[in-house]
A and B are shown apart, each in its own frame.
Chain A
Amino acid sequence: MSATTADLAIHAEGLVKRFGETTALDGVDLEVPRGTVLGVLGPNGAGKTTAVRILSTLLGADAGHATVGGYDVQSQAHQVRQLIGLTGQYAAVDEALTGAENLLLIGRLLGLERSAAKRRAQDLLSDFDLVDAGHRAAGTYSGGMRRRLDLAASLVGRPRILYLDEPTTGLDPRARNDLWDIIRGLVADDVTVLLTTQYLEEADELAGQIVVIDHGRVIARGTPDELKAMTGTRTLAVRPENHTHVPTVRVVVAELASVEPDVNGQLVTAPITDSAILPLVVRRLDDAGVTVTELNLRTSSLDEVFLSLTGKPAEPDRGHDTNQAERIPA
């Protein structure tokens, strides 16, 4: 966190935004060094979209201030818009236009000559595996194709800073993985990414730094590993070679971890707080003549972290697009 302001692509301090009685953002600080990915993680209504809308000049903050690429989002909004690309949580493409026309439109608006805009559109269509669909109305696209087109539309002007507001909400796992690969490719090209998501797995996969937001406040920040370490619990997993040894393993683990372990087939797991018991487990199993094929101590999943930070589980429902309420307050 020793990055100087000049190295920061996005720098927000004390952002506050109220909608009537509701406080959507209650003093949020964000720092995103150039060329990195920040994951903003939080449940529905946490304020993620509001933060993105402020940082992309769509909405003014009530207090606090933010710079993007060194430009103030409020007083130098036009400069900021020249640096950013925005992909909303629902695909903001014109459904009546074809994929190619959507991209051509953005290119022309950005001041490209007609031929250059057409070339750019074609390049992006092939980058995003949409060449065949390029001449069909976007309204006929599948969810995954629409997101890809939406992302392509935000890249027409080659932005250096990209906002991805819940880019995979409602996508099936395959389409989601495709999109993740594309995002990784962009990061490899040194694009700075601010990614909001309710999926812990997504933040873990893509982001170098994660900020956890709940009720408009940052409740935790750090690398995925740091966040996992924050909760202190780890999971001990033991798999004996022979299934007849499962009861023995269970007894040993129960005694050392002081909790009743989970048994799943041949795998015995238990949460532990003191990693010093690992050698003890090895010794006791050896004494009992148990050989193991797997024995490890892994950090908690981000889901467990989220639960311990917010006191409620992360959104279990993947396919459900419920963020309308957050997007349009009032």
Chain B
Amino acid sequence: MSTMTATTQRQPDQASGTTPLSSRVGPIEGTKQSLTLAWRSVIQIRHSPTDLADFSVQPIMFVLLFTFMFGGAIMGDWQTYLTFMLPGMIVMNMLFVTMYVGQGLNSDLTKGVFDRFRSLPIARWAPLAGRILAEQVKQIWSIILVLGVGMILGFRLQNGALGLLAAVGLLLFFALAFSWVGVLVGILAKDPERVQIYGMTVLFPVTFMSNVFVPLESLPSWLEPVVDANPVSTMADAVRGLMMDGAESGPILQTLLWGVVFAAVFAPLAVRAFRRRI
């Protein structure tokens, strides 16, 4: 009992008025609570490793399919294509994985787990922040996965460990910012299954209308500017540069800027939708 009263602000006898309850959560407690909630999501993965396997199948399949089915047709031989396509594939996969934020969030909302969290004296933003943080574990896993499969097939990094680290950092930064899109979809969707459907409906055309799978020069002239302006193309360029032929500051800065823009637009929308839903 002594540990209880020492470590929580809960006091049994509130009517005596001896110990006033705290009126807000400080940022340090809030961060701790977010980390605790992120820990929860990591435990979930540990308990059902098959989920992780399920979600690993698609990226592996995509790498194999594109390399061997389209590689020869697009670039003459699949080895050249692999080198060209793999950094973009990592970008595409990162975008797909952001939808898992929405799926997890939606499941918490529909199952009532979120109500429990919201009835606790914790920071209002902690449940959301915890979710988004935890998904970064899946992001790192999926980057390793795609890169690993690529390297088994013969993909080679040409810009050293520092280049790779910078690429991963950039990917995670963009993933964090883009997670707000996943959050918004997760809040608006009726059930977790629909999150995936809505997410794919948007992400498939957006990622395919980029320079991830085909070189820009091969496109009809009217399509070229559209594809070139696609942030997915910019990001693919940046990651290719960092992993392969040397970093260019242009695409990297543009990618950072796009991240800021996505967060600035979608975070307020998501928070507003969130307030409405709950």
Contacts and interface: CB of A to CB of B under 8 A. Distances in A.
Contacts of A112: 3-4, 7-8
Contact of B43 (A88, A93, A97): A97
Contacts of B76: none
Contact of A78 (B24, B112, B116): B24
Interface stretch (A79-87, A214-222, A225-233, A242-250): A79-87
A96 B12 CA distance: 32
Nearest to A85: B119
A178 B10 CA distance: 28
A54 to B, nearest CB: 12
A198 interface: no
Interface in A112-131: 112-113, 116, 119-120
Interface in B228-258: none
A158 interface: yes
Given A92-B112, A105-B36, A83 B120 contact: no
A111 B23 contact: no
B172 interface: no
Interface residues of B, number: 38
Contacts of B43: 96-97, 101
Given A58-B115, A86-B119, A92-B113, A78 B14 contact: no
Classify chain A: how many residues form its interface, as a range: 35 or more
B272 interface: no
Interface stretch (A69-77, A255-263, A264-272, A286-294): A69-77
Contact of A57 (B10, B40, B119): B119
B218 interface: no
Contact of B15 (A34, A78, A92): A34
Interface of A: 6-7, 34, 53, 56-59, 69-71, 76, 78-79, 81-86, 88, 90-98, 101, 105-106, 108-113, 116, 119-120, 137, 153-154, 157-160
26 contacts: A6-B15, A56-B119, A58-B119, A58-B278, A70-B14, A78-B23, A78-B121, A79-B22, A79-B23, A81-B119, A82-B10, A84-B119, A86-B119, A88-B116, A97-B40, A105-B39, A106-B116, A109-B126, A110-B120, A112-B3, A112-B4, A116-B3, A116-B4, A119-B3, A137-B47, A160-B12
Interface of B: 3-4, 7-10, 12-15, 21-25, 29, 33, 36-37, 39-40, 43-44, 47-48, 111-113, 115-122, 126, 278
The 7 closest A-B pairs by CB, nearest first: A92-B112, A81-B121, A96-B44, A79-B21, A86-B119, A92-B116, A116-B3
